[in-house]
Amino acid sequence: MMIYDIPGKESQKEFKRIQKFIHGLGDYHKEAEEAKRKGHNPPAQMLVGKTQGDFIYDLDGNEYVDFHSGWASNPVGNANPEIIEAVTDAFTKYGFTYHHPLQEELAEKVAAITPNQALTRASFEISGTEAAEAAVSVALRYKNRPLIISFSHAFHGDSLGAKTLSAITIDRKINLEAWRGGVIHVPYPITYDLPIDVTPEQYVDYIIWYIEEFICGMVAPADSIAGILLEPMLAEGGSWTPPVSFAQKLRKLCDKNDWLLISDEVLVGLGRTGKTWAIEHSGVQPDILVIGKNITGGIMPNAMIMGTEAAMGSNSARSGSTFAGSPAGCAAGLKTLEIYERDHVIAYAAALGEKALKRMKKWETEFPSLVSNVRGTGLLLGATILDKEGKPSVETAAAVQNEALRRGAYIINDTESSIRLYPALNMTEEHLDRGFTIIEEAFRVVSKDDYVISSWPRYFTTQ
Ligand SMILES: Cc1ncc(COP(=O)(O)O)c(C=O)c1O
Chain segment 201-247, per-residue pLDDT in tens: 999 999 999 999 999 999 999 999 999 999 999 999 999 999 999 99
The Cα 244–Cα 232 span in angstroms is 9
Q: What is the pLDDT of residues 249-267, one digit of tens each?
A: 999 999 999 999 999 999 9
Ligand 1 centroid vs 157 CA: distance in angstroms? Answer: 5
Q: Is the CB of 69 under 6 A from ligand 1?
A: no
Ligand 1, atom nearest to 157 Cα: 6
Phi, psi of 150 (to 5 degrees): -135, -175
Burial of 206 (C-beta count, 10 Å sphere; 0-12/13-18/19+): middle
Q: Please state the rounded mean pLDDT for residues 434-441.
A: 98
Q: Is the CB of 11 under 6 A from ligand 1?
A: no
Q: Is the CB of 266 under 6 A from ligand 1?
A: yes
Q: Which of 136, 156, 272 to mutate to test the pocket of ligand 1 (most atoms within 8 A of CB)?
A: 156
Number of Cβ within a 10 Å radius of residue 312:
23
* pLDDT greater than 60 at residue 457: no
Q: Is the CB of 265 under 6 A from ligand 1?
A: no
Q: Which of 127, 169, 266 to mutate to test the pocket of ligand 1 (most atoms within 8 A of CB)?
A: 266
Q: Please state the rounded mean pLDDT for residues 389-417.
A: 92
Ligand 1, atom nearest to 154 Cα: 1
When mean pLDDT is compared across 31-35, 126-130, 348-352, the lowest value belongs to 31-35
- Nearest CA owner, ligand 1 atom 13: 157
Q: What is the pLDDT of residues 170-199, one digit of tens each?
A: 888 889 888 888 999 999 999 888 899 999
Residue 298's closest CA among 117, 426, 456? 426
**pLDDT at res. 461:** 37
Ligand 1, atom nearest to 73 Cα: 10
The Cα 408–Cα 65 span in angstroms is 6
Helix, strand or coil for residue 103? Answer: helix
Q: Please state the rounded mean pLDDT for residues 54-61.
A: 97
Ligand 1 centroid vs 71 CA: distance in angstroms? Answer: 9
Q: Is the CB of 267 under 6 A from ligand 1?
A: yes
Ligand 1 centroid vs 149 CA: distance in angstroms? Answer: 18
Q: Is the CB of 233 under 6 A from ligand 1?
A: no
Q: Is the CB of 226 under 6 A from ligand 1?
A: no
Number of Cβ within a 10 Å radius of residue 248:
14
Ligand 1 centroid vs 266 CA: distance in angstroms? Answer: 5
Q: Is the CB of 157 under 6 A from ligand 1?
A: yes
* pLDDT greater than 80 at residue 291: yes
Cis before residue 242, ω within 30 degrees of 0? no
Portion of the chain with pLDDT greater than 90, in percent:
80
Q: Is the CB of 129 under 6 A from ligand 1?
A: yes
Ligand 1 centroid vs 303 CA: distance in angstroms? Answer: 10
Ligand 1 centroid vs 55 CA: distance in angstroms? Answer: 23
- pLDDT band for 317, please (50, 70, 90 cuts): confident
Ligand 1, atom nearest to 267 Cα: 16
Ligand 1, atom nearest to 235 Cα: 16
Domains of the chain as residue ranges with CATH: 9-78+345-447 (3.90.1150.10), 97-325 (3.40.640.10)
Q: Is the CB of 296 under 6 A from ligand 1?
A: no
Ligand 1, atom nearest to 303 Cα: 10
- pLDDT band for 453, please (50, 70, 90 cuts): confident
Q: Which of 130, 159, 293 to mutate to test the pocket of ligand 1 (most atoms within 8 A of CB)?
A: 293
The Cα 297–Cα 431 span in angstroms is 20
State the pTM of this model.
0.95
- pLDDT band for 460, please (50, 70, 90 cuts): very low
- pLDDT band for 462, please (50, 70, 90 cuts): very low
Ligand 1 centroid vs 278 CA: distance in angstroms? Answer: 15
Q: Is the CB of 264 under 6 A from ligand 1?
A: yes
Mean pLDDT comparison of 21-25, 301-305, 317-321, highest-scoring range:
301-305
**pLDDT at res. 28:** 65
Question: What is the per-residue DSSP string for 337-404?
Answer: HHHHHHHTHHHHHHHHHHHHHHHHHHHHHHSTTTEEEEEEETTEEEEEEB-TTS-B-HHHHHHHHHHH
Ligand 1 centroid vs 40 CA: distance in angstroms? Answer: 34
- pLDDT band for 415, please (50, 70, 90 cuts): confident
* pLDDT greater than 70 at residue 459: no
**pLDDT at res. 222:** 98
**pLDDT at res. 25:** 61
